[in-house]
Amino acid sequence: MNRNFTQFIIFLGISLLVSCSSIQERKSIKFESANNRLTDSSHVKNVLYSQFYDWQGVRYKRGGLSQHGIDCSGFVHLTFKSKLGLHLPRTTGMQSRLGKEVRRDDLKAGDLIFFKTGLNSNHVGIYLEKNKFLHASQKKGVTISRLDNVYWKSNYWKSVRI
Protein backbone atom coordinates (compact mmCIF):
# COMPACT_ATOMS: atom_id res chain seq x y z
CA MET A 1 0.00 0.00 0.00
CA ASN A 2 2.86 2.36 0.84
CA ARG A 3 4.44 1.68 -2.56
CA ASN A 4 1.19 2.53 -4.39
CA PHE A 5 0.89 5.76 -2.46
CA THR A 6 4.48 6.71 -3.35
CA GLN A 7 3.85 5.96 -7.03
CA PHE A 8 0.69 8.04 -6.92
CA ILE A 9 2.56 11.01 -5.41
CA ILE A 10 5.30 10.77 -8.05
CA PHE A 11 2.71 10.55 -10.84
CA LEU A 12 0.83 13.54 -9.42
CA GLY A 13 4.04 15.58 -9.16
CA ILE A 14 5.08 14.83 -12.74
CA SER A 15 1.57 15.65 -14.00
CA LEU A 16 1.64 19.02 -12.27
CA LEU A 17 5.07 19.87 -13.63
CA VAL A 18 4.11 18.98 -17.19
CA SER A 19 0.80 20.85 -17.04
CA CYS A 20 2.40 23.96 -15.51
CA SER A 21 5.02 24.16 -18.22
CA SER A 22 2.46 23.91 -21.00
CA ILE A 23 0.39 26.67 -19.37
CA GLN A 24 3.50 28.83 -19.12
CA GLU A 25 4.25 28.30 -22.81
CA ARG A 26 0.72 29.27 -23.84
CA LYS A 27 0.87 32.42 -21.70
CA SER A 28 4.20 33.38 -23.22
CA ILE A 29 2.87 32.94 -26.75
CA LYS A 30 -0.14 35.12 -25.88
CA PHE A 31 2.18 37.72 -24.34
CA GLU A 32 4.46 37.75 -27.40
CA SER A 33 1.60 38.26 -29.86
CA ALA A 34 0.12 41.05 -27.74
CA ASN A 35 3.57 42.55 -27.30
CA ASN A 36 4.00 42.62 -31.09
CA ARG A 37 0.77 44.63 -31.35
CA LEU A 38 2.22 47.17 -28.90
CA THR A 39 5.06 47.96 -31.30
CA ASP A 40 2.66 49.48 -33.86
CA SER A 41 2.22 52.97 -32.37
CA SER A 42 -0.48 53.97 -34.83
CA HIS A 43 -2.57 50.90 -33.98
CA VAL A 44 -2.05 51.39 -30.23
CA LYS A 45 -3.08 55.07 -30.42
CA ASN A 46 -6.23 54.22 -32.38
CA VAL A 47 -7.15 51.50 -29.88
CA LEU A 48 -6.54 53.78 -26.90
CA TYR A 49 -8.58 56.65 -28.34
CA SER A 50 -11.38 54.18 -29.10
CA GLN A 51 -11.25 53.03 -25.48
CA PHE A 52 -11.38 56.65 -24.34
CA TYR A 53 -14.51 57.38 -26.40
CA ASP A 54 -16.19 54.25 -24.98
CA TRP A 55 -15.30 55.12 -21.37
CA GLN A 56 -15.08 58.94 -21.33
CA GLY A 57 -16.49 60.36 -18.12
CA VAL A 58 -17.10 57.02 -16.38
CA ARG A 59 -16.76 57.95 -12.73
CA TYR A 60 -13.89 56.88 -10.51
CA LYS A 61 -14.72 54.15 -8.02
CA ARG A 62 -12.01 52.52 -5.91
CA GLY A 63 -11.97 48.82 -6.75
CA GLY A 64 -14.43 49.34 -9.61
CA LEU A 65 -14.21 47.35 -12.84
CA SER A 66 -17.24 48.44 -14.82
CA GLN A 67 -18.81 51.44 -16.49
CA HIS A 68 -20.65 52.06 -13.22
CA GLY A 69 -17.26 53.02 -11.75
CA ILE A 70 -13.62 52.15 -12.26
CA ASP A 71 -10.28 52.93 -10.68
CA CYS A 72 -7.00 53.70 -12.43
CA SER A 73 -5.42 50.23 -12.28
CA GLY A 74 -8.72 48.58 -13.18
CA PHE A 75 -9.00 50.80 -16.24
CA VAL A 76 -5.45 49.89 -17.32
CA HIS A 77 -6.17 46.21 -16.64
CA LEU A 78 -9.39 46.21 -18.70
CA THR A 79 -7.94 48.32 -21.52
CA PHE A 80 -4.98 46.03 -22.08
CA LYS A 81 -7.13 42.91 -21.80
CA SER A 82 -10.01 43.99 -24.05
CA LYS A 83 -8.19 46.14 -26.59
CA LEU A 84 -4.69 44.63 -26.79
CA GLY A 85 -5.25 41.04 -25.68
CA LEU A 86 -2.73 41.30 -22.87
CA HIS A 87 -3.51 40.33 -19.29
CA LEU A 88 -1.94 42.73 -16.79
CA PRO A 89 -2.23 42.43 -13.01
CA ARG A 90 -5.13 44.26 -11.37
CA THR A 91 -3.26 46.56 -8.98
CA THR A 92 -1.03 49.58 -9.55
CA GLY A 93 1.70 48.04 -7.38
CA MET A 94 1.82 44.86 -9.45
CA GLN A 95 1.57 46.77 -12.74
CA SER A 96 4.54 48.94 -11.72
CA ARG A 97 6.73 45.82 -11.57
CA LEU A 98 6.14 44.90 -15.21
CA GLY A 99 8.09 45.69 -18.33
CA LYS A 100 11.17 47.76 -18.85
CA GLU A 101 11.57 51.21 -17.36
CA VAL A 102 11.74 54.02 -19.96
CA ARG A 103 12.63 57.69 -19.67
CA ARG A 104 9.84 60.24 -19.78
CA ASP A 105 11.19 61.72 -23.03
CA ASP A 106 11.21 58.26 -24.70
CA LEU A 107 7.54 57.44 -24.12
CA LYS A 108 5.51 55.65 -26.81
CA ALA A 109 1.79 54.98 -27.08
CA GLY A 110 0.84 52.16 -24.71
CA ASP A 111 3.58 52.77 -22.12
CA LEU A 112 2.38 52.81 -18.52
CA ILE A 113 2.98 55.98 -16.51
CA PHE A 114 3.09 55.89 -12.72
CA PHE A 115 2.66 58.66 -10.18
CA LYS A 116 3.17 58.86 -6.42
CA THR A 117 0.02 60.64 -5.30
CA GLY A 118 0.34 60.21 -1.55
CA LEU A 119 2.38 58.59 1.18
CA ASN A 120 1.01 55.12 0.40
CA SER A 121 -0.87 55.70 -2.85
CA ASN A 122 0.05 55.49 -6.51
CA HIS A 123 -1.72 56.23 -9.76
CA VAL A 124 -1.32 54.73 -13.24
CA GLY A 125 -2.23 55.87 -16.74
CA ILE A 126 -1.46 54.89 -20.33
CA TYR A 127 0.62 57.17 -22.54
CA LEU A 128 -1.07 58.31 -25.77
CA GLU A 129 1.06 60.86 -27.61
CA LYS A 130 2.30 64.45 -27.43
CA ASN A 131 2.55 64.54 -23.63
CA LYS A 132 -0.99 63.17 -23.15
CA PHE A 133 -2.09 60.11 -21.19
CA LEU A 134 -5.33 58.22 -20.63
CA HIS A 135 -6.44 57.33 -17.11
CA ALA A 136 -9.25 57.12 -14.57
CA SER A 137 -9.06 60.31 -12.54
CA GLN A 138 -10.65 60.59 -9.09
CA LYS A 139 -12.10 64.00 -10.00
CA LYS A 140 -12.96 63.64 -13.70
CA GLY A 141 -13.43 59.90 -14.17
CA VAL A 142 -11.94 58.43 -17.35
CA THR A 143 -10.16 61.28 -19.06
CA ILE A 144 -7.08 62.41 -20.96
CA SER A 145 -4.60 64.57 -19.08
CA ARG A 146 -1.27 66.21 -19.85
CA LEU A 147 2.03 65.11 -18.34
CA ASP A 148 3.17 68.73 -18.20
CA ASN A 149 0.25 69.65 -15.93
CA VAL A 150 1.71 70.96 -12.65
CA TYR A 151 0.09 68.20 -10.56
CA TRP A 152 1.11 65.28 -12.78
CA LYS A 153 4.58 66.67 -13.44
CA SER A 154 5.31 67.06 -9.72
CA ASN A 155 3.99 63.57 -8.85
CA TYR A 156 5.59 61.66 -11.75
CA TRP A 157 7.30 58.48 -10.53
CA LYS A 158 8.27 56.32 -13.52
CA SER A 159 7.20 54.85 -16.85
CA VAL A 160 7.43 51.30 -18.13
CA ARG A 161 7.09 49.67 -21.52
CA ILE A 162 5.29 46.33 -21.57
Q: Where are the domains of the chain?
A: 1-38, 40-161
**Arithmetic mean of pLDDT, 137-158:** 97
pLDDT tens digit sequence for 131-140: 999 999 999 9
Q: Among the options 20, 43, 72, 87, which is catalytic?
A: 72
**Arithmetic mean of pLDDT, 45-50:** 97
| pLDDT over 80 at 32, yes or no | no
Cβ-proximal residues to 59 (8 Å cutoff; 6+ apart), any chain: 69, 70, 141
pLDDT of residue 37: 58
| pLDDT over 70 at 26, yes or no | no
pLDDT of residue 33: 45
| pLDDT over 70 at 20, yes or no | no
For 40-161, CATH number? 3.90.1720.10
Of 95, 101, 92, 100, nearest to 122 by C-alpha is 92
Greatest distance between any 2 Cα atoms in the chain: 72
Does the annotation count 123 as an active-site position? yes
Does the annotation count 72 as an active-site position? yes
Cβ-in-10-Å burial (0-12, 13-18, 19+) of 9 comes to exposed
Q: Can you give the pTM of this predicted structure? A: 0.77
How far is Cα 106 from Cα 67, in angstroms, rounded to an integer? 32
| pLDDT over 50 at 14, yes or no | no
Across the chain, what does the average pLDDT equal? 84
Beta bridge partners of 65: 70
